[in-house]
Amino acid sequence: MQNDLTLSEAMRKFQSWAEKNLAPGTVADYNRHLQRFFAAVGDLPLSDFRAHHLVSWGKTWHNIVAVQRLFNWLADVEIIARSPFTKVKRPRPGRRKRTFTRHEFARLCRRAAPDFRLFLLALRETIARPQEVRALRWSELESCDPSKSIDEALCHGLAYFAIEEYKSRERRADPDALRIIPVSRRFGRMLLRIRRSATHSGEILRSSRGRPWTKEATRLRLARLRKAVGLGRDARGEALVCYSVRHTSATAACVKGIRDRILAYIMGHTNTRTTARYQHPAPIHLVEAIDAVMRRSQEKPR
């Protein structure tokens, strides 16, 4: 056992392992939370840690999970005998409920630089996960009509992305099935413009410097945009983030009558109960829906 190691030394060992075994986004998330924990408690020896160090600091599910993951790994590789944080209870992870209004999204797009505006529009048009949109590649584009080229398919709204590796693939009834991300006619025209001037292969959506978007880059860019246009947190303390675009588009699809089963396929969900968590109809949506129902019921039969 190496209980004489300090927190900073343990974090370096964990990061070295994580970079070889975990997804880059997961490593970045863990590192961000662990750095905050380190700043709060200091570079204590591992033998000095007690449950109260995490209880007094950790306020969110993600805070606590990151620190517990570090110390559980230290125990698994026998650097420490056991984690002092095993019995620390995690708060229930909050569920995102806030969506963009049309006015809010338009304000952001008008203020955004062209490279990031395209990313936001891609999120809206595909209803895909932000990490999926960041990773979209030219090689994954397919045409619904084999007789049409990719350019023709994009122009006529007949294209889609076929993704082999994706979230929750192992939970699918058929784990070999592809993740299909349909391309709307409007997004197809955007892609066609990029395709005609593209000088690179690989990821399609890139920053003005030609680099593929990262989670941290899009998070920081949207944070600056929110501040620039004055979009603060709501009464629940929730800020608008990239994932909010997915919730917004899912809600719009629900209001327009898209069936949950179809929407689940579009969003890459294995269960419609998950899809339902992305739908947040406002009172005005319900009023408009009942009004439409009543108007149809009062129409005279021909």
Quote the pLDDT of residue 291: 85
CATH 1.10.443.10 fits 103-234, yes or no: yes
Contact 87, 226 (CB under 8 A): no
Cβ-based neighbours of 111, under 8 Å, separated by 6 or more? 225, 228, 229
- What does pTM read for this prediction? 0.76
Please count the residues of the chain.
302
Interstrand relation of 141-143 and 159-163 (parallel, antiparallel or unpaired): antiparallel
pLDDT tens over the chain, length 302 residues: 555 899 999 999 999 999 998 877 788 889 999 999 999 999 999 999 999 999 999 988 889 999 999 999 999 999 999 999 999 998 877 788 899 999 999 999 999 999 999 999 999 999 999 999 999 999 999 999 999 999 999 999 999 999 998 877 777 777 788 999 999 999 999 999 998 887 778 899 999 999 999 988 999 999 999 999 999 999 888 999 999 999 999 999 999 999 999 999 999 998 999 999 999 988 888 888 888 888 877 775 55
Residue 131 identity: Q
Phi/psi of residue 70, nearest 5 degrees: -60, -50
d(CA 230, CA 150): 40
Q: Where in the chain is the domain with CATH 1.10.443.10?
A: 103-234
Quote the pLDDT of residue 300: 59
Cβ-based neighbours of 241, under 8 Å, separated by 6 or more? 96, 219, 222
What is the secondary structure of the chain as a DSSP string?
A: --TT-BHHHHHHHHHHHHHHHS-HHHHHHHHHHHHHHHHHH-S-BGGG--HHHHHHH--SHHHHHHHHHHHHHHHHTTSSSS-TTTTPPPPPPP-------HHHHHHHHHHS-HHHHHHHHHHHHH---HHHHHH-BGGGEEESSTTS-HHHHHHTT-EEEEESS-TTGGGSSSTTSPEEEEE-HHHHHHHHHHHHH----SBS-B-TTSPBP-HHHHHHHHHHHHHHHT----TTSPPP-HHHHHHHHHHHHHHTT--HHHHHHHHT-S-HHHHHTT----HHHHHHHHHHHHHHHHSPP-
Residue 19 identity: E
d(CA 222, CA 217): 9
Query: Which residues partner with 203 through β-bridges?
Result: 137
Contact 205, 134 (CB under 8 A): yes
Contact 203, 165 (CB under 8 A): no
Residue 242 identity: C
Quote the pLDDT of residue 59: 86
d(CA 38, CA 69): 14
Quote the pLDDT of residue 29: 87
Quick count: other Cβ atoms within 10 Å of Cβ 125? 20
d(CA 89, CA 73): 18
Closest to 278 in 3D by CA, of 255, 243, 256, 250: 250
Quote the pLDDT of residue 157: 92
d(CA 28, CA 33): 9
Measure the CA angle with vertex 268, ends 264 and 271; round to 5°: 50
